Amino acid sequence: MIITGYYNELGYQVESYDSFTGERIELYRAGNHALESTQDGTGTEHQISLATIKEFCEITTKAIAEEKHAFYSGVECLED
């Protein structure tokens, strides 16, 4: 199993990929709101920066990979 994080200015998601079956599964998703990760903080005082989103994405992706004893493949910035 391979664990990868994807992020942009709206938030981030962590996915697993099974190289045998080709199946992708979303494991975690968070938005860009500093106080409530399930909400969109765009245009508010609570919007977090892209650098912070990337940092959170890296931390979460590494933790999930470790928890699942899977390969951490890094994080990628998604273009809109």
CB 61 within 8 A of CB 3: yes
pLDDT along the chain (80 residues), means of 10: 96 94 95 90 91 97 97 92
| Domain assignments of the chain as residue spans, ordered by start | 2-77
| 65 CB burial (10 A radius; 0-12, 13-18, 19+) | buried
What is the per-residue pLDDT for 62?
98
